Amino acid sequence: MSAQGGNSPAHDVWADLRLTTQARIGLGRAGNSLPTTRVLEFAAAHAAARDAVHDPLDADAFAATLTDLGLGEPLRVASQARSRGEYLRRPDLGRQPAAGTELPEAATDIGIVLADGLSPRALVDHAHGMVKALVEAFDGRYTIAPPVIATQARVALGDHIGAALGVTTMIVIIGERPGLSVADSLGIYLTHRPQVGRTDADRNCISNIHPPDGLGYAAAAGVTAALVAGARSLGRSGVDLKDTSRQELDTAAVVSLEPAQE
């Protein structure tokens, strides 16, 4: 009972935990259903996820945002999926370049594909910052081909692009499938010596890139740079290639704690 004689509101034991995650936890209930606020939040998240999947990428406007990266004029590639609807119904068409696709041979160390995937919004929101962080992480060690904007694209489309460009390592930055917590998440897929017919076992993936709540650009770029270096040393990517960036950070931290030698 409160001092005024009324009932004090129940303490929400989940409030602090909700600050640490985007997951829906401790939703409560109103009778046999969820509280109205939670139902509306769910509906809004569902609508955002649907919009992220269905809204097409404005390739012209997106290309204009990349001009200050210093990588050259972006190239364009479309998959065989002729519409957003066909892309969603036929994943196989998103893995193949449209008929007549031609790309100039680049013969560089790194190729970068910016693919709309299942969330073009994620590409618009995060691709510029992600590519900028990659360029900084590579620190001039590798030659980089002009970026390729790929529409109605699945990850494997990068194999066709990488083979045509003649790059040593292909990095596909793609919009990930939206969920009810995140609609603008990017993924990075790295394939060493890309060629048509590569499988997921030949790739390494870095997921959940969407600062400030997900993985940050610098952290993702650091992992990618470590994987590129590892792939060049190992001669391949995929299941045999492990991320060593965390080990390098741990080693650096131990070294920094050692007393200076006189």
Q: Classify 192 in phi/psi space as left (phi over 0), alpha (psi -120 to 50) or beta.
A: beta
Report whether 113 belongs to an annotated binding site.
Answer: no
Residue 38 near residue 32, CB atoms below 8 Å: no
Are 220 and 209 spatial neighbours (Cβ–Cβ below 8 Å)? yes
On whether 223 is known to bind a ligand per the annotation, the reply is: no
Q: Which residues on adjacent β-strands are paired with residue 76?
A: 149
Characterize the bridge pairing of strands 186-192 and 203-209.
antiparallel
Q: What are the residue ranges of helices labelled H in the chain?
A: 15-18, 36-54, 59-64, 84-89, 120-138, 157-165, 217-234, 245-257
Is position 205 annotated in a ligand binding site?
Answer: yes
Can you state the angle between helices 36-54 and 120-138, rounded to 10 degrees?
70
CA proximity to 123, closest of 109, 112, 136? 112
**What is the C-alpha separation between 122 and 138, in angstroms, rounded?**
23
Q: β-strands 75-78, 186-192: how paired? A: unpaired
Joined tokens for residue 93:
């068409």
Please check whether residue 189 is in contact with residue 156, taking contact to mean a CB–CB distance below 8 angstroms.
no
Q: Residues within the annotated binding site?
A: 155, 176, 205
Q: Residues within the annotated binding site for adenosylcob(III)alamin?
A: 155, 176, 205
